[in-house]
Chain A
Amino acid sequence: MDLAPTSPPPHAPASAPPGDLAIWFFILAELLAFGVFFAAYAFARARNVELFDSMQLTLDRQAGALNTVLLISGSACVARAVEAVGRARSTTGARWLLAGIACGGGFLVVKGFEYADKLGAGINLSTNTFYMFYLSLTFFHFMHVILGMVILVALWFKTRQGAYGPADMNGIESGAAYWHMVDLVWIVLFPLVYVMR
């Protein structure tokens, strides 16, 4: 009779995602909110195709693409940070986190210029349906980038102090997952709002 303990085989899939389970419920709730927002935008466009297509031409697509590059790179930096901390390289991890924060800062600056340009041209939420969606949807995302950066700064401080390591990845993995969610949402937002017509 085999009395060996029933442990999972060595390459069995992990039962839970990296980080705290609570952050994943939070991420799913955020994704649900963004998903409803995206669908609302797409169906509003279906009823105002000419307006949406002509207003889309007034957006700065280069700025949108640059911001995609910044968020993707920021996400890559944070993934590298988690990988470094997982190998007990806290100093390297902290540097990658700082690079991720710089990418997020770059995103906010570029988006800030876009907002300044539009607001300077007298555009606001009541200009038309397209701009109501553009401003509210992108600003909703903008606020998430700010929250993500606050989390990254907190992770940076703690990583510098050596608070995380191979035996304690929970905090850094949770914060990183949130940051990647901000990137994931923009990956849908950029083509939907700036390119698709």
Chain B
Amino acid sequence: MNTRHLNTVWVVLLLATLATFAIGETGDMLGITGPVAMLLLLSISIVKGRLVVLDFMGLRGVKFFWRSLLIGWLLLVSALIAVAYWIALK
């Protein structure tokens, strides 16, 4: 992993964090609330988590089995959160 790529990943992660924070601060004004905000927040987390797993943890060039364990955890936890949120809406 070269330094330029690591720096790019860092900047993307910072921008994604800003997006998460902005949804919390201005979501009401922008109409990003409820399930839409929830899905957006989970999607941002998945993108961020995937970058950490692949580029910081260094699993990009590793067999699918290992990547699937960590990214699978991310997807499973996100799915459980979405299901719980959906139950809360009812």
A residues with a Cβ closer than 8 A to B are: 13-18, 24, 28, 31-32, 35, 38-39, 42-43, 45-46, 49, 61-62, 65, 68-69, 72-73, 75-76, 78-80, 82-83, 173, 176-177, 180-181, 183-184, 187-188, 190-192, 194-197
Contact = CB atoms under 8 A, between A and B. Distances in A.
11 contacts: A14-B61, A14-B63, A16-B63, A16-B66, A18-B57, A18-B62, A38-B81, A45-B88, A188-B45, A188-B77, A195-B23
A68 B88 CA distance: 27
Nearest to A35: B77
Interface of B: 1-3, 6-7, 9-10, 13-14, 17-18, 20-21, 23-25, 37-38, 41-42, 44-45, 48-49, 52-53, 55-59, 61-64, 66, 69-70, 73-74, 76-78, 80-81, 83-85, 87-88
B81 A192 contact: yes
B88 A191 contact: no
A39 B84 CA distance: 8
Contacts of A69: 14, 17
Contacts of A38: 77, 80-81
A196 B41 contact: yes
